[in-house]
């Protein structure tokens, strides 16, 4: 097996106040579970092998990803790896129950015969984690996140959060938090509960820096770890070609105008736009790491190349200036 490459992104850093460490670059497993199109078993396995060979040791998953497929594929991969060498986060809030759904109906081309049911109760948390452990074959998850509780605040803070806090106190889970695509409710979690971390998708990127207004300063103050996903805003910052989406929907003319301006500045410095997008969140001192998905070994390699691309300070200053101009 190839030895890990000693790159900066393989550095293990503490996650908030917890005793959990993560690599600065984590692998998101939603694409490996058939997000938008099916991914073959061998393709997923080689992608995981490529991430491991690169030194990535933090992997994020969820029952939602492929209706359990991501957790199963991770479990197969980890069966031959030393348990102390990697960190895994999974999520609660969606239970998988027998039922029929259209293939791709929730964005995933996953296995049939299972549907997702929202459940943010304490009982739902215990059941979800037990089933995730069974699917993955792991003995524990270091990090457990409340997944997308946008319309379930009360149930989450009276059911899911106390259950996770209890599991943490018992030592069954080492870090708890919430993962969402918005900053307002994550800020409430940080201010009103004792979570260790947040996983924020899409709200701290070259196109959307809104987390810097409230969430990131609050996390820094409370010593809550911040993991940033969605650095490409669903694709447009990775490959701004016709048909690219912004937050999973067709991009507006204004977004395209901004993307073209960002890409032009990057090109002037010989830097791929995707490299600047991947590295951007880590410039903020509150950000612990970034989580980037990949559906193949080639995409994993592209991400690690972008992570190690040198970006001059002059370019960052120009990109900051474009953001200020867009906000004015």
For residue 57, which phi and psi values (nearest 5 degrees)?
Answer: -130, 10
pLDDT tens figures, 156-203: 999 999 999 999 999 999 999 999 999 999 999 999 999 999 999 999
| Region at 235 (left for phi over 0; alpha for psi -120 to 50; beta for the rest) | left
Alpha-carbon torsion (92, 93, 99, 103), positive or negative? negative
Pairing of strands 245-246, 249-250: antiparallel
pTM: 0.96
Coil vs helix vs strand at 259: helix
Residue 109's pLDDT is 87
Q: Which of the residues are catalytic?
A: 65
Whether 248 contacts 234, CB under 8 Å: yes
Q: Spell out the domains of the chain, with CATH numbers in brackets.
A: 8-327 (3.20.20.100)
For residue 115, which phi and psi values (nearest 5 degrees)?
Answer: -125, 160
Mean pLDDT for all residues in the chain: 95
pLDDT tens figures, 25-82: 999 999 999 998 999 999 999 999 999 999 999 999 999 999 999 999 999 999 999 9
Residue 104's pLDDT is 72
pLDDT tens figures, 240-252: 998 899 998 999 9
């Amino acid at each position: 097996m190839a030895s890990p490459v000693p790159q900066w992104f393989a550095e293990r850093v503490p996650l908030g106040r917890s005793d959990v460490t993560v690599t600065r670059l984590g692998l998101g497993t939603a694409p490996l579970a058939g997000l938008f199109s099916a991914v073959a078993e061998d393709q997923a396995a080689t992608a995981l092998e490529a991430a491991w060979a690169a030194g990535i040791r933090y992997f994020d998953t969820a029952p939602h990803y492929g209706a359990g497929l991501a957790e199963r594929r991770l479990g197969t991969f980890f069966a031959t790896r030393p348990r102390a060498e990697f960190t895994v986060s999974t999520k609660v809030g969606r239970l998988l129950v027998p039922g029929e759904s259209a293939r791709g109906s929730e964005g995933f081309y996953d296995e049939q015969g299972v549907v997702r049911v929202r459940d943010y109760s304490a009982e739902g948390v215990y059941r979800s984690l037990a089933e995730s452990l069974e699917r993955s074959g792991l003995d524990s998850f270091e990090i457990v996140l409340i997944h997308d509780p946008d319309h379930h605040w009360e149930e989450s803070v009276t059911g899911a959060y106390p259950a996770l806090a209890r599991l943490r106190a018992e030592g069954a889970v080492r870090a708890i938090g919430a993962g969402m695509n918005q900053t307002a409710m994550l800020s409430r979690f940080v201010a009103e509960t004792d979570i260790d971390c947040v996983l924020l998708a899409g709200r701290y990127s070259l196109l959307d820096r809104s987390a810097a207004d409230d969430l990131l300063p609050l996390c820094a103050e409370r010593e809550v770890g911040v993991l940033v996903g969605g650095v490409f805003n669903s694709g447009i910052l990775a490959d701004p070609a016709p048909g690219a989406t912004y937050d999973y929907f067709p991009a507006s003319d204004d977004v395209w105008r901004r993307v073209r301006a960002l890409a032009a500045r990057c090109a002037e410095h010989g830097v791929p736009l995707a490299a600047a997008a991947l590295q951007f969140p880590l410039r903020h001192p509150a950000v612990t790491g970034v989580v980037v998905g990949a559906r193949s070994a080639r995409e994993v390699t592209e991400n690690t190349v972008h992570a190690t691309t040198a970006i001059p300070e002059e370019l960052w200053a120009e990109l900051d200036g474009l953001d200020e101009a867009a906000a004015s």
